[in-house]
Structure 1
Amino acid sequence: MQRFIVQPEPEGRVRIVLPARMLVDKGVAEFVEAARLLRERGFEAECVLAGGTDSQNPAAISEKQLRSWHDAGLVSWMGHCADMPATLAACHIVCLPSYREGLPKVLLEACASGRPIVTTDVPGCRDVVCDEVNGLLARVRDAADLADKLARLVVDPKLRRRMGAAGRARAELNFSLARSAEQTLDIYRELI
């Protein structure tokens, strides 16, 4: 909560970032397709892939494919980002269209940073995002639905701010280090 702080939205065109390892099951291809659909529909947004490749993972997206999407102007690919607080502060919307997750740390970081989230309606993601409260839940593997959800936030700065504030409050209430320590101690007390 101290490292990821709420900062005002950056000036300029809306920036949507997908911060994850570049894996098929993180929904990277659906994000790229949603970016194409947004552009086709006339929405002004910069769509950014923020993450490195993982060549040891069978679900890895090749650097060649990532560069191809980047060179075609569909998305920008930043590669590995060492400073996640700065990456999140520089965006307007965080998107993680994953096929499955545990409890995605990057979504907790997005909440703490006060950024609205568009993610998929799968376990883990929906444990962090309450639909219509601190973000929007899209259908898994559905680029058109993902584009629809992103478009709502692209055009509505008030909705982004409201959802971002709700995300920060959710992070403080449910996911802070103090809250985790309290819950752990409660378990120990119960067992003793």
Structure 2
Amino acid sequence: MRTSKIIIITSNTSWYLYNFRKNTILSLIESGYQVVAVAPKDEYSSKLEELGAIFVHINIDQGGTNPVKDIATFYEFYKIYRKHKPSVTLNFTPKNNIYGTLAAKLNGVKVINNIAGLGMVFINDSMTAKLAKLLYKVSQSKADKIFFQNEDDRALFLEHKLAPVEITDRLPGSGVDLTRFTLQPAPDDGVVRFLLIARMLYDKGIGHYVESARELKAKYGDKVEFQLLGFVGVNNPSAVTEDEMQAWVAEGIVNYLGVSDCVEKDIAKVDCMVLPSFYREGVPKSLLEAGAMGKPIVTTDNVGCRETVDDGINGYLCDLRSTQSLTEKLDLMIQMTHEQRLEMGRQSRLKIERDFDEKIVIQKYLDAIDEVLVK
């Protein structure tokens, strides 16, 4: 057991901390740390307290670019660190990585950041993107440790001289809980079911998925089914609106499943997981979870996504922003026998067990905390 030091863990939603970092929080508590969870309050905040963490609300304008709101967020972080006096802070999501780091350093707190994909920041040249790069440069050089979920993002960070190489390290995504997500073969009932789990953003390839679904439904009718699961109408310029979603459902192209805390129940029923994202992903959690449950994967040959697929072994990689390429790969999946899809799924499970076990991620965090505390 370690001494009872305070660790602050932050994100732009309580939902994220509970759904993606629950076992990290439990492991920190089991290791003798007092954990303070800092995020905007939502229906998952109380669940964080049930885990044994202290919850502290903070206002974060996730997708906004209002400097006044961001300065207010920075000042809130500063006050939280000053009050709780943690030894280390673990930051997740972009604004937390930036403003949480700056506020922590002013309070003498050690900082471990997680860069879970660089979103659209590095694939356009807008003023917002330039400002984001500047903020990353100012803040991340002050961190004690920065974890990346793929080598592409790490290389990009170093290329832009946003942080010194010696503080950077690589994680296998956020990992996956192999005891929760277990092998679940799809039913052999003559229907091939596809599922896409993500925030409903066009940058995630939702539009291409819907177009492919329209084409393949016309070809195969009720022998194929296309499902979507995730938040719709989110605060993001790339967001799919609720009206757009309702129109697709009314047209009979897709089934929208809403949101779920038990995604494994939805994943279990499908034959293939799809994510045609051209967003700069970390390593998408939905693909790791589906792979752990023995599902073949169709995703883009894109940063973060390609890490989850050995092309032709446990799924297929399609071209970015190409409905035609996506449709071709989904059609290959439809034309397979049920047993061939199950075998691809078994290969997914083996890959996840080998490379993406959540225990690897949690141990990396425990080791990193020990490392920065002796600096």
Distance in structure 1 (CA, Å) of the matches to 2:327 and 2:367: 42
Aligned to 1:94: 273
2:224 maps to 1:45: yes
Partner of 2:361: 180
Matched residue SS, 1:69: helix
Unaligned runs of 5+ in 2: 1-177
Q: How far did residue 186 of structure 1 move?
A: 8.0
Distance 2:351 2:308 in 1: 8
Please state whether the residue corresponding to 2:350 is helix, strand or coil. Answer: helix
Question: Residue by residue, what CA displacement relative to the aligned partner does 1:13-32 show, whole Å, maximum 9, x if unpaired?
Answer: 11101111111111111001
Partner AA of 1:67 in structure 2: Q
Instruction: Note closer, same or farther for the CA distance 1:189–1:79 as it changes in structure 2 (3 Å cut).
Output: closer
RMSD over equivalenced CA pairs, Å: 2.1
Task: Using the TM superposition, give the Cα deviation of residue 40 of structure 1 relative to its aligned residue in structure 2, in angstroms.
Answer: 2.7
In 2, the alpha carbon distance for the partners of 1:155 and 1:82 equals 32
Aligned to 1:9, what secondary structure does the other structure show? coil
Letter of the 2:343 counterpart: R
CA contact (8 A) 1:108 1:128 kept: yes
Q: Secondary structure at the match of 1:41?
A: helix
Partner of 2:184: 7
> Which secondary structure does the structure 2 equivalent of 1:42 belong to?
helix
Check conservation: 1:26, 1:98, Cα contact below 8 A: yes
Match of 1:25 in 2: 203
Cα deviations across residues 48-94 of structure 1 (Å, max 9, x unaligned)? 11112143111110000000000000111111122111110011110
Q: Choose which of 296, 306, 309 in structure 2 pairs with 1:129.
A: 309
Identity rate of aligned residues, in percent?
Answer: 38
> Which residue does the alignment assign to 1:63?
242
CA contact 1:103–1:125 (8 Å) conserved in 2: yes
1:10 Cα deviation from its structure 2 partner: 2.1
Q: Name which structure has the greater RCO, CA cutoff 8 Å, separation 6+.
A: 1
Paired residue total: 192
Q: Is the 8 A contact 1:173 1:179 kept in 2?
A: no
Q: CA 1:73/1:166 → structure 2, altered by over 3 Å: closer, same or farther?
A: same
Partner of 2:352: 171
Deviation by residue 1:114-161 (Cα, 9 ceiling, x = unmatched):
000000110100011111111100111111211110111112123311
Q: Which runs of 5+ in 1 are unaligned?
A: none
Instruction: Give the Cα–Cα distance (whole angstroms) in 1 for the partners of residues 245 and 309 of structure 2.
Output: 28
